[in-house]
Structure 1
Amino acid sequence: MTPSATDRPDMSIEEFEELARRAPETVSLEFINGRVVVKHGPIDVDDFEELARKAPETVTLELINGKLRVKPVPDGDHGSIIMWLIRQCMMQRPELGLHPEQGLRIDTCRKGCIKPDGALAPIDYFAGQGEWASPGGVLMTVEVTSKDRDTDLRDRQEKPGAYAYAGIPVYLLVDRDEHKVIVYSSPENGTYQRRRPYPYGATIRIPAPVALTLETEKLKDYAD
Protein backbone atom coordinates (compact mmCIF):
# COMPACT_ATOMS: atom_id res chain seq x y z
CA MET A 1 0.00 0.00 0.00
CA THR A 2 1.34 3.46 -0.91
CA PRO A 3 1.64 5.70 2.17
CA SER A 4 -0.61 8.77 2.28
CA ALA A 5 0.76 12.31 2.48
CA THR A 6 0.07 12.34 6.21
CA ASP A 7 2.31 9.36 6.98
CA ARG A 8 4.90 9.43 4.20
CA PRO A 9 8.39 9.77 5.75
CA ASP A 10 10.74 12.64 4.98
CA MET A 11 13.17 10.17 3.45
CA SER A 12 13.95 6.48 3.40
CA ILE A 13 15.80 4.92 6.31
CA GLU A 14 18.73 4.31 3.93
CA GLU A 15 18.85 8.00 3.02
CA PHE A 16 18.70 8.97 6.69
CA GLU A 17 21.52 6.61 7.61
CA GLU A 18 23.69 8.07 4.86
CA LEU A 19 22.83 11.64 5.93
CA ALA A 20 23.61 10.86 9.58
CA ARG A 21 26.91 9.25 8.61
CA ARG A 22 27.96 12.30 6.59
CA ALA A 23 26.79 14.88 9.15
CA PRO A 24 29.36 17.21 10.78
CA GLU A 25 30.66 16.04 14.15
CA THR A 26 28.73 18.85 15.85
CA VAL A 27 25.38 17.65 14.44
CA SER A 28 23.58 14.60 15.84
CA LEU A 29 20.50 13.46 13.93
CA GLU A 30 17.56 11.23 14.83
CA PHE A 31 14.79 9.69 12.71
CA ILE A 32 11.49 9.90 14.62
CA ASN A 33 8.13 8.96 13.11
CA GLY A 34 9.59 9.37 9.65
CA ARG A 35 11.02 12.83 10.35
CA VAL A 36 14.67 13.79 10.61
CA VAL A 37 15.39 15.99 13.62
CA VAL A 38 18.47 17.49 15.22
CA LYS A 39 18.98 15.71 18.54
CA HIS A 40 20.60 18.60 20.38
CA GLY A 41 18.12 21.33 19.36
CA PRO A 42 18.51 24.15 16.82
CA ILE A 43 21.33 23.87 14.31
CA ASP A 44 23.38 26.93 13.37
CA VAL A 45 23.63 28.15 9.79
CA ASP A 46 27.26 27.12 9.21
CA ASP A 47 26.63 23.56 10.42
CA PHE A 48 23.49 23.39 8.31
CA GLU A 49 25.31 24.46 5.15
CA GLU A 50 27.90 21.73 5.67
CA LEU A 51 25.15 19.17 6.32
CA ALA A 52 23.20 20.24 3.21
CA ARG A 53 26.36 20.07 1.10
CA LYS A 54 27.01 16.48 2.22
CA ALA A 55 23.40 15.25 1.94
CA PRO A 56 22.59 12.49 -0.56
CA GLU A 57 21.64 13.80 -4.00
CA THR A 58 18.07 12.60 -3.44
CA VAL A 59 17.62 14.74 -0.30
CA THR A 60 17.13 18.53 -0.33
CA LEU A 61 17.41 20.19 3.07
CA GLU A 62 16.20 23.58 4.29
CA LEU A 63 16.67 25.47 7.55
CA ILE A 64 13.60 27.46 8.57
CA ASN A 65 13.56 29.38 11.85
CA GLY A 66 16.50 27.28 13.00
CA LYS A 67 14.65 24.01 12.34
CA LEU A 68 15.72 21.33 9.89
CA ARG A 69 13.23 20.62 7.10
CA VAL A 70 13.29 18.20 4.16
CA LYS A 71 11.97 19.62 0.90
CA PRO A 72 9.70 17.04 -0.76
CA VAL A 73 10.44 15.65 -4.20
CA PRO A 74 8.15 17.50 -6.67
CA ASP A 75 5.61 15.65 -8.79
CA GLY A 76 4.85 16.34 -12.45
CA ASP A 77 2.08 18.88 -11.86
CA HIS A 78 4.31 20.79 -9.43
CA GLY A 79 7.03 21.05 -12.06
CA SER A 80 4.54 22.03 -14.76
CA ILE A 81 3.23 24.92 -12.65
CA ILE A 82 6.77 26.20 -12.10
CA MET A 83 7.48 26.02 -15.84
CA TRP A 84 4.24 27.91 -16.55
CA LEU A 85 5.33 30.65 -14.16
CA ILE A 86 8.82 30.79 -15.67
CA ARG A 87 7.30 31.37 -19.11
CA GLN A 88 5.02 34.13 -17.79
CA CYS A 89 7.96 35.93 -16.18
CA MET A 90 10.11 35.63 -19.32
CA MET A 91 7.38 37.06 -21.55
CA GLN A 92 6.47 39.99 -19.31
CA ARG A 93 9.75 40.81 -17.56
CA PRO A 94 12.58 39.53 -19.80
CA GLU A 95 15.16 41.38 -17.70
CA LEU A 96 14.25 39.13 -14.76
CA GLY A 97 14.57 35.39 -14.21
CA LEU A 98 12.50 33.06 -12.05
CA HIS A 99 15.41 31.02 -10.71
CA PRO A 100 14.25 27.55 -9.54
CA GLU A 101 15.64 26.05 -6.33
CA GLN A 102 18.14 28.86 -5.70
CA GLY A 103 19.16 28.76 -2.06
CA LEU A 104 18.64 31.92 0.01
CA ARG A 105 20.41 32.65 3.27
CA ILE A 106 18.09 34.52 5.64
CA ASP A 107 20.35 36.53 7.97
CA THR A 108 17.70 37.92 10.30
CA CYS A 109 16.40 36.94 13.73
CA ARG A 110 14.75 34.01 11.92
CA LYS A 111 17.96 32.52 10.63
CA GLY A 112 17.57 30.05 7.84
CA CYS A 113 18.65 28.64 4.52
CA ILE A 114 15.68 28.18 2.23
CA LYS A 115 15.32 26.90 -1.32
CA PRO A 116 12.13 28.39 -2.73
CA ASP A 117 10.58 26.74 -5.75
CA GLY A 118 11.34 30.00 -7.58
CA ALA A 119 13.14 33.27 -6.81
CA LEU A 120 12.44 36.21 -9.13
CA ALA A 121 15.49 38.44 -9.50
CA PRO A 122 17.53 40.20 -12.20
CA ILE A 123 19.01 37.70 -14.66
CA ASP A 124 22.58 37.81 -13.32
CA TYR A 125 21.79 38.60 -9.69
CA PHE A 126 22.87 35.19 -8.38
CA ALA A 127 26.05 34.96 -10.45
CA GLY A 128 29.06 34.23 -8.22
CA GLN A 129 27.03 33.93 -5.00
CA GLY A 130 27.23 30.18 -4.51
CA GLU A 131 24.57 27.82 -3.21
CA TRP A 132 23.15 30.12 -0.53
CA ALA A 133 22.73 33.66 -1.79
CA SER A 134 21.64 36.94 -0.24
CA PRO A 135 17.92 37.65 -0.70
CA GLY A 136 18.58 41.38 -1.05
CA GLY A 137 17.93 41.50 -4.81
CA VAL A 138 14.99 39.08 -4.85
CA LEU A 139 11.68 40.66 -5.88
CA MET A 140 9.46 37.63 -5.33
CA THR A 141 9.64 34.09 -4.00
CA VAL A 142 7.34 31.35 -5.25
CA GLU A 143 6.21 28.16 -3.56
CA VAL A 144 3.89 25.50 -4.96
CA THR A 145 2.38 23.26 -2.31
CA SER A 146 3.34 19.60 -2.34
CA LYS A 147 1.30 16.56 -1.42
CA ASP A 148 3.04 15.95 1.90
CA ARG A 149 2.11 16.21 5.55
CA ASP A 150 4.19 19.31 6.28
CA THR A 151 3.03 21.59 3.46
CA ASP A 152 0.69 23.56 5.75
CA LEU A 153 3.39 24.28 8.32
CA ARG A 154 6.13 24.89 5.76
CA ASP A 155 4.47 26.80 2.92
CA ARG A 156 1.53 28.53 4.63
CA GLN A 157 3.03 29.36 8.02
CA GLU A 158 6.83 29.27 8.24
CA LYS A 159 7.89 30.53 4.83
CA PRO A 160 5.69 33.66 4.72
CA GLY A 161 7.31 34.79 7.97
CA ALA A 162 10.84 33.98 6.82
CA TYR A 163 10.44 35.75 3.48
CA ALA A 164 8.83 38.77 5.12
CA TYR A 165 11.69 39.01 7.64
CA ALA A 166 14.10 38.94 4.70
CA GLY A 167 12.26 41.92 3.19
CA ILE A 168 11.30 40.13 -0.03
CA PRO A 169 8.56 42.33 -1.53
CA VAL A 170 6.21 39.56 -2.72
CA TYR A 171 5.58 35.92 -1.83
CA LEU A 172 3.44 33.98 -4.31
CA LEU A 173 1.92 30.72 -3.07
CA VAL A 174 0.18 28.34 -5.46
CA ASP A 175 -2.00 26.31 -3.12
CA ARG A 176 -2.93 23.10 -4.92
CA ASP A 177 -5.12 21.86 -2.07
CA GLU A 178 -7.29 24.97 -2.09
CA HIS A 179 -7.03 25.61 -5.87
CA LYS A 180 -5.98 29.16 -5.08
CA VAL A 181 -3.08 31.52 -5.67
CA ILE A 182 -2.22 33.69 -2.67
CA VAL A 183 -0.26 36.91 -3.10
CA TYR A 184 1.54 38.18 0.00
CA SER A 185 2.97 41.69 -0.22
CA SER A 186 4.10 44.75 1.77
CA PRO A 187 6.51 43.13 4.26
CA GLU A 188 6.86 45.04 7.51
CA ASN A 189 8.40 43.94 10.83
CA GLY A 190 8.56 40.34 9.70
CA THR A 191 4.97 40.11 8.47
CA TYR A 192 3.32 40.59 5.10
CA GLN A 193 0.70 43.27 5.63
CA ARG A 194 -1.34 42.19 2.63
CA ARG A 195 -2.55 38.69 1.83
CA ARG A 196 -4.90 38.28 -1.09
CA PRO A 197 -6.19 34.89 -2.32
CA TYR A 198 -7.42 34.31 -5.87
CA PRO A 199 -9.23 31.24 -7.23
CA TYR A 200 -7.79 29.36 -10.19
CA GLY A 201 -8.98 31.15 -13.34
CA ALA A 202 -8.72 34.67 -11.91
CA THR A 203 -6.67 37.48 -13.37
CA ILE A 204 -3.95 38.35 -10.86
CA ARG A 205 -2.08 41.63 -10.93
CA ILE A 206 1.02 41.24 -8.80
CA PRO A 207 2.08 44.59 -7.33
CA ALA A 208 5.33 46.46 -7.93
CA PRO A 209 8.22 45.89 -7.96
CA VAL A 210 7.14 42.61 -9.60
CA ALA A 211 4.42 44.12 -11.78
CA LEU A 212 3.17 40.94 -13.48
CA THR A 213 -0.30 40.01 -14.65
CA LEU A 214 -1.16 36.31 -14.44
CA GLU A 215 -4.10 34.78 -16.26
CA THR A 216 -4.48 31.64 -14.19
CA GLU A 217 -6.99 29.61 -16.23
CA LYS A 218 -4.13 27.26 -17.13
CA LEU A 219 -3.79 26.19 -13.50
CA LYS A 220 -7.08 24.32 -13.77
CA ASP A 221 -5.27 21.82 -16.01
CA TYR A 222 -3.12 20.84 -13.02
CA ALA A 223 -5.94 20.59 -10.47
CA ASP A 224 -6.73 17.21 -8.94
Structure 2
Amino acid sequence: MAVMTLDRTQMDLAAFEAIAITAARENVTLEFINGRIGVKPVPDGDHGEIIMWLLERCMQQRRELRLYPEQGLKVESYRTGHARPDGALAHKGTFAGQGEWADPDGVLMVVEVTSRDPDADRRDRIEKPAAYAQTRIPVYLLIDRDADTVTVHSEPEAGRYRSVVTLSYGHEVVIPSPVSITLDTEALKDYVR
Protein backbone atom coordinates (compact mmCIF):
# COMPACT_ATOMS: atom_id res chain seq x y z
CA MET A 1 0.00 0.00 0.00
CA ALA A 2 1.45 3.43 -0.98
CA VAL A 3 1.48 6.61 1.10
CA MET A 4 -0.68 9.39 -0.32
CA THR A 5 0.95 12.41 -1.91
CA LEU A 6 -0.59 14.97 -4.21
CA ASP A 7 1.01 13.44 -7.30
CA ARG A 8 0.82 9.72 -6.40
CA THR A 9 -2.00 7.38 -5.52
CA GLN A 10 -2.62 6.11 -1.99
CA MET A 11 -2.95 2.50 -3.10
CA ASP A 12 -3.68 0.33 -6.07
CA LEU A 13 -7.16 -0.79 -7.08
CA ALA A 14 -6.82 -4.34 -5.68
CA ALA A 15 -5.97 -3.01 -2.22
CA PHE A 16 -8.94 -0.63 -2.34
CA GLU A 17 -11.34 -3.43 -3.34
CA ALA A 18 -10.18 -5.59 -0.41
CA ILE A 19 -10.73 -2.73 2.03
CA ALA A 20 -14.12 -1.84 0.50
CA ILE A 21 -15.41 -5.40 0.99
CA THR A 22 -14.47 -5.27 4.67
CA ALA A 23 -15.94 -1.77 5.09
CA ALA A 24 -19.25 -2.86 3.57
CA ARG A 25 -19.64 -5.35 6.40
CA GLU A 26 -19.16 -2.45 8.84
CA ASN A 27 -21.83 -0.30 7.13
CA VAL A 28 -19.29 2.23 5.80
CA THR A 29 -19.20 3.32 2.16
CA LEU A 30 -15.85 3.83 0.47
CA GLU A 31 -14.99 5.39 -2.88
CA PHE A 32 -11.76 5.45 -4.89
CA ILE A 33 -11.35 8.58 -7.03
CA ASN A 34 -8.10 9.88 -8.53
CA GLY A 35 -6.15 7.20 -6.69
CA ARG A 36 -7.47 8.38 -3.31
CA ILE A 37 -9.69 6.51 -0.93
CA GLY A 38 -12.64 8.42 0.49
CA VAL A 39 -15.19 7.60 3.19
CA LYS A 40 -18.78 8.53 2.41
CA PRO A 41 -20.84 9.24 5.53
CA VAL A 42 -24.00 7.30 6.23
CA PRO A 43 -26.92 9.46 4.97
CA ASP A 44 -29.30 11.12 7.43
CA GLY A 45 -33.10 11.24 7.14
CA ASP A 46 -33.24 14.53 5.21
CA HIS A 47 -30.71 13.15 2.74
CA GLY A 48 -32.92 10.13 2.14
CA GLU A 49 -36.04 12.29 1.74
CA ILE A 50 -34.29 14.42 -0.88
CA ILE A 51 -33.31 11.32 -2.86
CA MET A 52 -36.90 10.01 -2.70
CA TRP A 53 -38.24 13.44 -3.77
CA LEU A 54 -35.92 13.40 -6.79
CA LEU A 55 -36.71 9.78 -7.61
CA GLU A 56 -40.45 10.60 -7.71
CA ARG A 57 -39.89 13.66 -9.94
CA CYS A 58 -37.77 11.69 -12.38
CA MET A 59 -40.29 8.85 -12.67
CA GLN A 60 -43.23 11.26 -13.06
CA GLN A 61 -41.60 12.99 -16.01
CA ARG A 62 -39.61 10.13 -17.57
CA ARG A 63 -41.34 6.82 -16.82
CA GLU A 64 -38.80 4.83 -18.81
CA LEU A 65 -35.97 5.94 -16.52
CA ARG A 66 -34.95 4.82 -13.04
CA LEU A 67 -32.92 6.62 -10.38
CA TYR A 68 -30.72 3.90 -8.91
CA PRO A 69 -29.61 4.85 -5.37
CA GLU A 70 -26.00 4.13 -4.40
CA GLN A 71 -25.11 2.26 -7.62
CA GLY A 72 -21.34 1.83 -7.74
CA LEU A 73 -19.80 3.16 -10.96
CA LYS A 74 -16.40 2.83 -12.58
CA VAL A 75 -15.37 6.43 -13.22
CA GLU A 76 -12.57 8.32 -14.94
CA SER A 77 -11.38 7.59 -18.42
CA TYR A 78 -7.64 7.80 -17.77
CA ARG A 79 -7.28 6.56 -14.18
CA THR A 80 -8.85 3.76 -12.23
CA GLY A 81 -11.66 4.98 -10.00
CA HIS A 82 -14.83 3.89 -8.26
CA ALA A 83 -17.62 6.19 -7.10
CA ARG A 84 -20.92 5.50 -5.43
CA PRO A 85 -23.18 8.45 -6.30
CA ASP A 86 -26.33 9.04 -4.29
CA GLY A 87 -28.25 8.34 -7.50
CA ALA A 88 -27.57 7.23 -11.06
CA LEU A 89 -30.32 7.97 -13.59
CA ALA A 90 -30.51 5.45 -16.43
CA HIS A 91 -32.97 3.43 -18.47
CA LYS A 92 -34.63 0.54 -16.69
CA GLY A 93 -32.38 -2.53 -16.83
CA THR A 94 -29.14 -0.63 -17.47
CA PHE A 95 -27.35 -2.29 -14.55
CA ALA A 96 -28.78 -5.80 -14.92
CA GLY A 97 -26.03 -8.41 -14.88
CA GLN A 98 -23.35 -5.96 -13.73
CA GLY A 99 -21.46 -6.31 -10.49
CA GLU A 100 -21.03 -3.90 -7.61
CA TRP A 101 -19.01 -1.50 -9.78
CA ALA A 102 -20.93 -0.99 -13.03
CA ASP A 103 -19.85 0.50 -16.33
CA PRO A 104 -21.21 4.07 -16.57
CA ASP A 105 -22.31 3.67 -20.20
CA GLY A 106 -26.01 4.42 -20.31
CA VAL A 107 -25.96 6.66 -17.24
CA LEU A 108 -27.70 9.92 -18.15
CA MET A 109 -27.18 11.72 -14.85
CA VAL A 110 -25.47 11.20 -11.52
CA VAL A 111 -26.76 12.86 -8.35
CA GLU A 112 -25.01 13.85 -5.16
CA VAL A 113 -26.67 15.34 -2.09
CA THR A 114 -24.09 16.91 0.18
CA SER A 115 -23.63 15.44 3.63
CA ARG A 116 -22.82 17.40 6.71
CA ASP A 117 -19.13 16.56 6.83
CA PRO A 118 -15.89 18.46 6.31
CA ASP A 119 -14.95 16.43 3.23
CA ALA A 120 -18.07 17.43 1.22
CA ASP A 121 -16.42 20.45 -0.40
CA ARG A 122 -13.51 18.55 -1.90
CA ARG A 123 -15.46 15.39 -2.67
CA ASP A 124 -18.80 16.67 -4.04
CA ARG A 125 -17.83 20.06 -5.48
CA ILE A 126 -14.35 19.34 -6.90
CA GLU A 127 -13.37 15.68 -7.30
CA LYS A 128 -16.70 14.17 -8.35
CA PRO A 129 -17.59 16.72 -11.05
CA ALA A 130 -14.14 16.15 -12.56
CA ALA A 131 -14.44 12.35 -12.37
CA TYR A 132 -17.95 12.31 -13.83
CA ALA A 133 -16.98 14.72 -16.63
CA GLN A 134 -13.90 12.61 -17.47
CA THR A 135 -16.22 9.61 -17.68
CA ARG A 136 -18.50 11.68 -19.99
CA ILE A 137 -21.63 11.25 -17.91
CA PRO A 138 -23.93 13.85 -19.53
CA VAL A 139 -25.28 15.50 -16.35
CA TYR A 140 -24.09 15.84 -12.76
CA LEU A 141 -26.75 17.19 -10.36
CA LEU A 142 -25.51 18.49 -7.02
CA ILE A 143 -28.08 19.24 -4.32
CA ASP A 144 -26.01 21.30 -1.93
CA ARG A 145 -27.48 21.33 1.58
CA ASP A 146 -24.75 23.66 2.87
CA ALA A 147 -25.56 26.42 0.37
CA ASP A 148 -29.27 25.55 -0.17
CA THR A 149 -28.64 25.38 -3.92
CA VAL A 150 -29.05 23.02 -6.84
CA THR A 151 -26.23 22.92 -9.39
CA VAL A 152 -26.60 21.34 -12.82
CA HIS A 153 -23.33 20.42 -14.52
CA SER A 154 -23.70 19.46 -18.20
CA GLU A 155 -21.87 19.29 -21.52
CA PRO A 156 -18.82 17.24 -20.50
CA GLU A 157 -15.78 18.06 -22.57
CA ALA A 158 -12.05 17.65 -22.01
CA GLY A 159 -12.48 16.40 -18.44
CA ARG A 160 -14.82 19.12 -17.20
CA TYR A 161 -18.41 20.29 -17.57
CA ARG A 162 -18.70 23.31 -19.88
CA SER A 163 -22.07 24.37 -18.45
CA VAL A 164 -22.59 24.87 -14.72
CA VAL A 165 -25.84 26.47 -13.54
CA THR A 166 -26.54 27.06 -9.83
CA LEU A 167 -29.92 28.14 -8.45
CA SER A 168 -31.19 28.57 -4.90
CA TYR A 169 -33.86 26.28 -3.49
CA GLY A 170 -37.29 27.45 -4.62
CA HIS A 171 -36.38 28.01 -8.26
CA GLU A 172 -37.43 25.89 -11.20
CA VAL A 173 -34.40 23.92 -12.38
CA VAL A 174 -34.26 22.69 -15.97
CA ILE A 175 -32.11 19.61 -16.44
CA PRO A 176 -31.01 19.50 -20.08
CA SER A 177 -31.02 16.66 -22.59
CA PRO A 178 -30.61 13.73 -22.44
CA VAL A 179 -32.39 13.94 -19.07
CA SER A 180 -34.92 16.62 -20.08
CA ILE A 181 -36.82 17.13 -16.85
CA THR A 182 -37.77 20.20 -14.82
CA LEU A 183 -37.59 20.34 -11.04
CA ASP A 184 -39.59 22.73 -8.87
CA THR A 185 -37.18 22.88 -5.94
CA GLU A 186 -39.53 24.64 -3.50
CA ALA A 187 -39.95 21.31 -1.66
CA LEU A 188 -36.21 21.25 -0.82
CA LYS A 189 -36.79 24.09 1.64
CA ASP A 190 -38.48 21.50 3.89
CA TYR A 191 -35.09 19.84 4.40
CA VAL A 192 -33.10 22.90 5.49
CA ARG A 193 -31.72 22.52 9.04
TM-score, structure 1 normalization: 0.81
Change (3 A) 1:171 1:102: same
2:145 and 2:192 in contact (8 A); partners too? yes
> Does residue 152 of structure 1 match 2:152?
no
Aligned partner of residue 209 in structure 1, secondary structure = coil
In structure 2, the CA distance between the partners of 1:106 and 1:179, relative to structure 1 (3 Å rule), is same
| Aligned-residue offset at 1:140 | 0.2
- Tell me the residue number matched to 2:90: 121
Query: What residue is the counterpart of 2:15 in the other structure?
Result: 47
CA-CA distance at 1:54 after TM superposition: 2.2
**C-alpha distance in 2 between matches for 1:165 and 1:97:** 23
In the other structure, the counterpart of 1:222 is: 191
Identity within the alignment, %: 57
Displacement, 1:43? 1.8
Distance 2:172 2:46 in 1: 21
Matches within 5 A, 1:187-206: 187-206=156-175
- The 3-state SS of whatever aligns with 1:139 is strand
Q: Does 1:84 align with 2:35?
A: no
Distance of 1:170 and 1:188 partners within structure 2: 12
1:138-177 correspondence runs (5 A): 138-177=107-146
Please say if residues 76 and 132 of structure 2, whose CA atoms lie closer than 8 Å, have aligned partners that are also in contact: no
Decide whether the 8 Å contact of 1:110 with 1:165 is kept in 2.
no
Structure 1, unaligned runs of 5 or more: 1-26, 30-36
Partner of 1:134: 103
Aligned AA (1:53): I
The structure with the larger Rg is 1
For 2:104 and 2:13, the matched residues in 1 are separated by 15
SS at match of 2:50: helix
Q: Unaligned 5+ residue runs, structure 2?
A: none
Given candidates 70, 74, 80, the residue that maps to 2:39 is 70
- Displacement of 1:107: 4.8
Cα distance in 2 for residues equivalent to 1:177 and 1:78: 12
1:98 corresponds to which of 58, 62, 67: 67
- Report whether the alignment pairs 1:179 with 2:148: yes
Q: Distance in 2 between matches of 1:109 and 1:150?
A: 24
Q: Distance in 2 between matches of 1:88 and 1:41?
A: 39
Aligned partner of 1:210 in structure 2 is: 179
Alpha-carbon distance in 2 for matches of 1:96, 1:219: 22
- Give me the whole-angstrom Cα distance separating, in 2, the residues matched to 1:149 and 1:132: 26
> Contact 2:95 / 2:102 at 8 angstroms: preserved in 1?
yes
Q: CA deviation at 1:49?
A: 2.0
**Is the 2:69–2:87 contact (alpha carbons within 8 Å) kept by the matching residues of 1?**
yes
Q: Give, as a single letter, the amino acid of the residue that structure 2 aligns with 1:185.
A: S
